[in-house]
A and B are shown apart, each in its own frame.
Chain A
């Protein structure tokens, strides 16, 4: 699905990613962990094309296309989705309008028919149920006045609505109480199937109790320094990052 080779990137002139290699296939869930400032969020933002992050080397092939050549919106239209660490508020633009525009743009790009209003509404109702969002939240402006938990739920709601091929979820679990964490995880598990893939970027391993990954990668100083199966999370929990980072140094 996505093949990342020796990806390097900088922000504000500072090299953050020092050569990331990662292969994600359909049907897989990868978790990327690491201490503060290791480059987790940078990776998510470089892949989706945030202009602040400048790729300086390597290549990323997404569905046979060179991802780094595409504009952010075309990456989205190709089926790449980012669940934002800090979902943005857009006052005056309703969630429904926003999503309808997004879905239709994506369909247009892929030469698919636009959703009829009824199809759109039906999908909204169905997906809203999964994340327990009520109608008032859907008709409200995008993320405006939402609590932290509501914002993160809204990201997952959008994930389900847009149904991308690859979802990168950047700290979607941060700041959530345990009930909200369950809802969010449930939404991601609902999304998973053999045709799509998920990259979870997280600061807290408790997320992995709810979304069980196939692979775990530890990123440190802009490189993946350790990869393993889900058992790696338990090891990390017991020993902290130090045992890996010290070993590396």
Chain B
């Protein structure tokens, strides 16, 4: 849409300049390094490394074979270049593919967890301890590449819900994992999916049995800690017929000068009449104000809806130097529903190319896309979305709304909607807007007695309202704060 806009010179008032300074000085809130022993592999990727990861994870044979197959396939692929992001070539041999906090033995309770680690979680504001029970959230925290502890497992077990680190699930529920692993995102899907399949070290596995409504929100926190480490986690969520689950995913990483790689895969399966609500607040380290460091976030997320099922993706993306992410839904069954609500914020030199794919195959399938992009500083923010209506998708219906907000004259917002319709009896609607948070808007609020800082947060939160209201309550509060943090004073 609008790009490199020409506008008059910088004529900010003193107090706005202060705010900008405050922002550029304000450190990345999660930017600290936990001082605990890490067990690391040497840098580089080879079949040997893949096998070593597999061994350390105690993989069954089929999984080891799967990894090696994926690795061999990866070797034949080229990095995708179509996204509107620019970055120096990634040296895949200069990345460490496994890093785990060194642990003496299997932990039985939270008391056994390394106190340093617990402190880290506290700093992150993740109340992993008993207070968790009050807030009714079960957490699986993935620290670098290993899942540390899953709370609440017992409560969940009573209902037959499986919520565990993937490695445990592979051991305890091999048949289930084998059935679904790679069923939605096969290793042949794309470059990063292949890489993930080869070297994934941990992840979360969720299974909700038939007709069960998961009584609490399930949550995973991912954190990259070790230097030069890539994180390749894998999440699988299966909601059996008529089941319901709301799953939250949060991400943070410490400040590092080097770029770190994150290439996750998420697979969702919603069986007949099931519902999955998948929410993400992504706050990986975005790099400093000059664009140094930060996470490269290349993620493949996809879900399949069977008859009358519903998958709803909600994401708030404020972090990462580069975000490359298109949570998608295949509406396979008749009357199934896909939703995508997204806020992507970029500041300084961040780049985001994100959106969704809604593939309508079944009859009377419906999808809704609401995407809000906010760009500030020198950043670039692109929405890229595909709506595909298949030949047999009679009565399919899509509504897409893509709004971009520009906060400086050096940033860019782009919209790439792809619409492919092979069925006449369908309705596809698309709306797009580009606006600028302007001096006039702020002055209007000032003139009603509201300070500039409050004005910016009011305007930005208003802009994102349709997405925030989709988030679970406590995530919404966090998202609002994150947004303020990422954007404070960046009006210009």
Contact = CB atoms under 8 A, between A and B. Distances in A.
Given A52-B11, A101-B458, A88 B449 contact: no
B310 to A, nearest CB: 25
Contact of A158 (B11, B439, B448, B462): B448
Given A84-B444, A88-B440, A141 B462 contact: yes
Interface of B: 8, 11-13, 15, 438-441, 443-452, 454, 458-459, 461-466
17 contacts: A50-B443, A51-B11, A73-B451, A73-B452, A75-B447, A76-B447, A88-B440, A88-B444, A90-B445, A90-B462, A91-B463, A92-B463, A92-B464, A92-B466, A93-B458, A99-B448, A105-B451
Nearest to B437: A90
Contacts of A141: 462
A48 B443 CA distance: 9
A73 B446 contact: yes
Contact of B449 (A51, A84, A92, A102): A102
Nearest to A161: B448
Interface in A92-133: 92-93, 98-99, 101-103, 105-106, 109
B114 to A, nearest CB: 43
A33 interface: no
A217 interface: no
Given A92-B463, A101-B458, A109-B449, A87 B444 contact: yes
B433 to A, nearest CB: 9
A141 B464 CA distance: 13
Contacts of B11: 51-52
Contacts of A86: 440
B457 to A, nearest CB: 10
Nearest to B438: A88
A77 B464 CA distance: 28
Interface in A166-189: none
Nearest to B444: A88
B465 A92 contact: yes
Most chain B CB inside 10 Å of its own CB: which residue of A12, A82, A88, A105: A88
Contacts of B448: 76, 98-99, 102, 158, 162
A200 to B, nearest CB: 17
B450 A102 contact: yes
A72 interface: yes
Contacts of A88: 438, 440-441, 444
A202 B267 CA distance: 62
Nearest to A89: B441
Contact of A72 (B441, B443, B458, B462): B443
Most chain A CB within a 10 A radius of its CB, from B12, B444, B464: B444
B462 A101 contact: no
A189 B91 CA distance: 72
A81 B452 CA distance: 17
A71 interface: yes
B449 A49 contact: no
A105 B450 contact: yes
Contacts of B8: 12
Given A90-B459, A93-B462, A98-B458, A51 B450 contact: no
B32 to A, nearest CB: 34
B450 A71 contact: no
B429 to A, nearest CB: 17
A90 B438 CA distance: 11
Contacts of B441: 88, 90
Contacts of A93: 458-459, 461-462
A1 B445 CA distance: 24
A109 to B, nearest CB: 7
